[in-house]
Amino acid sequence: MTARITHWINGKDWDGVAERTGEVYDPATGEVRAHVDFAGPSEIEAAVASAKEAFAKWRDTSLTARQRVLFAFRRLLDERKQELAEIITSEHGKVIGDALGEIARGIESVDFACGIPAMLKGGFSENVSTNVDVYSLRQPLGVVGVISPFNFPAMVPLWFIPGALACGNAVVLKPSEKDPSAANFVARLWREAGLPDGLLTVLHGDKVAVDGLLTHDDVKAISFVGSTPVARYIYSTGTANGKRVQALGGAKNHMVVLPDANLDQAADAAVSAGFGSAGERCMAVSVVVAVDPVGDELVDKIVERAKKLRVGDGRRAGCEMGPLVTKQHRDKVASYIDAGVQAGATLALDGRGHDIDGEPGGFWLGPTVFDHVEPDMSIYTDEIFGPVLSVVRAHSYPEAVSLINANDYGNGTAIFTNDGGAARRFQHEVEVGMVGVNVPIPVPVGYYSFGGWKNSLFGDTHAYGPDAMHFFTRTKVVTSRWLDPSHGGVDLGFPKND
Ligand code: NAD
């Protein structure tokens, strides 16, 4: 008997019988560790109805009371992070240290939301007309849906939940069906922190659950993170159904190395950002653009480091890179190695032969490096989302920037150089939402917002930070007159201020 993972609705585990379920693997052993219930119409209805009911009270709950829950949740999350990290590793596969890293980033987003009273201040203009004042309020939207990907089962939900709740909304979270347990753990912590039942629902499932949220009249907004084709679908369907939508998509992040860069530092960065979390990060570096003449030396340094990475069960001490999330995904990523060789790229390191510190049934693939990759090869055009790093050679800085700007994705990018002028020019010219200067994974801190450009984000608001306060509220502007009883009698003219 494997464990059952079910929905969290109205502050408790759902007690119905699921018509459909999905298998959840331990990627380091290849075994099925649990089955997760997939929501159908009745679970979707129950989830949204309880959220709507809870919202009616929460929107009138004071900022101070909301803030108290946020502080309590922050404390609990910090206290229980080791347990949560172990859950993440057992279903996602990333090493424990990396799982703790994603929780730390999630905590940053809670930190920001704890300052909610300061951020929900409106504007006030006294005497815009004689004895007339104008002021603005920010009010919550209602029930909002959060749909998250497998690669950050704790952090991505935490990008949205604290801000949405702080602003007075109720949240229905549809986590990835591949690693669903972290969401239930987090939901229980919110309850323990004092969040009233119904305000955070976890609805498990697949496209049926997602479509149920996208078309439900009582769901007012959708925050989505996942692959580009699904992000595009979420944006078009959600907006067609009258919802506010932010849909963050996939990526192909380029790291430019200029000839004046410190090549040891650049190689360390490329290996860390290319193979951390087995390349299953939307901010992973998947393309290194080596500007002449540094290519040969840089590739040697990258291969030398990547070869030494300890790949294995993320629970074992010393392992730096875990397995891929499912066998299907592992096989798909491995198929790109064949495709790269067939297309004529140079296979500088083949991850299929890497030593593994783990059970043979795990979904393993070691770090792979391709050199002399051309922009028309599938290993360049496609988001592989695995430990496959491509090196493209460029003759000059302008050629490197043109390559990035011609790419359909625009999530993250980085430049490695000792030339401040070149770095400044790069940050100005590059058409990408998040830029690193000698920093390979430029994920903004919690008090900025996170988002890419082009096919990496549909919608106009980024995730967490100040943009969250904008996305999860709507503005109301009040024009009021109290003191002046002599309002001038009937006047059918358009109101003017004097
Ligand atoms: P995915 O698009 O397959 O799934 C994301 C979510 O959408 C899941 O909850 C899934 O159940 C649901 N879903 C999947 N197919 C659907 C469909 N046809 N209709 C409706 N819902 C559907 O993504 P994933 O494989 O879980 O995650 C990896 C992807 O997410 C990568 O492309 C990665 O770049 C991207 N990602 C982007 C960011 C970002 O901030 N831009 C962050 C993390 C991950």
Which CATH number does the domain housing residue 239 bear? 3.40.605.10
In a shared domain, residues 238 and 283: no
Task: Point out which residues pair with 54 in neighbouring strands.
Answer: none
Which of 94, 248, 282 best tests ligand 1's pocket when mutated (most atoms within 8 Å of CB)?
Answer: 282
177 in a domain, yes or no?
A: yes
pLDDT for position 484: 65
In a shared domain, residues 145 and 229: yes
- Name every protein residue with a CB atom under 6 angstroms from any ligand 1 atom: 147-152, 156, 174, 176-177, 206-207, 210, 225-227, 230, 233, 248-251, 282, 383, 385, 411, 452, 456
Structure tokens at 456: 């990496």
How far is CA 266 from its chain centroid? 25
Condensed to tens digits (0 to 9), the pLDDT of residues 280-323 reads 999 999 999 999 999 999 999 999 999 999 999 999 999 999 99
In a shared domain, residues 155 and 7: yes
In a shared domain, residues 341 and 466: no
pLDDT for position 489: 80
CA dihedral 351, 354, 357, 363 (to 10 degrees): 40
Q: Which atom of ligand 1 is nearest to the CA of 150?
A: 26
Rounded Cα distance, 47 and 462, in Å: 26
Which residue ranges of the chain lie beneath pLDDT 50? none
Rounded Cα distance, 459 and 379, in Å: 28
Rounded Cα distance, 295 and 318, in Å: 30
The one-character DSSP state at 10 is T
CA of 385 to the centre of ligand 1 (A): 11
pLDDT for position 63: 97
Which of 38, 44, 102, 150 best tests ligand 1's pocket when mutated (most atoms within 8 Å of CB)?
Answer: 150
Q: Report the nearest-CA residue for atom 9 of ligand 1.
A: 176
CA of 37 to the centre of ligand 1 (A): 19
pLDDT for position 498: 73
In a shared domain, residues 173 and 303: no
Q: Which atom of ligand 1 is nearest to the CA of 383?
A: 32
CA of 326 to the centre of ligand 1 (A): 14
In a shared domain, residues 308 and 230: no
Annotation says 319 is catalytic: no
CATH number of the domain that residue 318 is part of: 3.40.309.10
What total of structural domains would you count in the chain? 2
In a shared domain, residues 265 and 190: no
Q: Which domain holds residue 122?
A: 3-249+456-478
**3-state DSSP assignment of residue 65:** helix
In a shared domain, residues 39 and 136: yes
In a shared domain, residues 164 and 43: yes
In a shared domain, residues 98 and 172: yes
Rounded Cα distance, 374 and 381, in Å: 9
> pTM of the entire structure?
0.97
Q: Report the nearest-CA residue for atom 24 of ligand 1.
A: 149
472 in a domain, yes or no?
A: yes
Rounded Cα distance, 174 and 172, in Å: 7
How far from 125 is each of 118, 122, 469, 484, 494, CA to CA, in Å? 18, 10, 21, 17, 20
Task: Point out which residues pair with 171 in neighbouring strands.
Answer: 144, 200
In a shared domain, residues 93 and 143: yes
In a shared domain, residues 258 and 226: no
Supply the DSSP string of 277-300, one letter for each residue. GGG-STT-EEEEEEETT-HHHHHH
489 in a domain, yes or no?
A: no
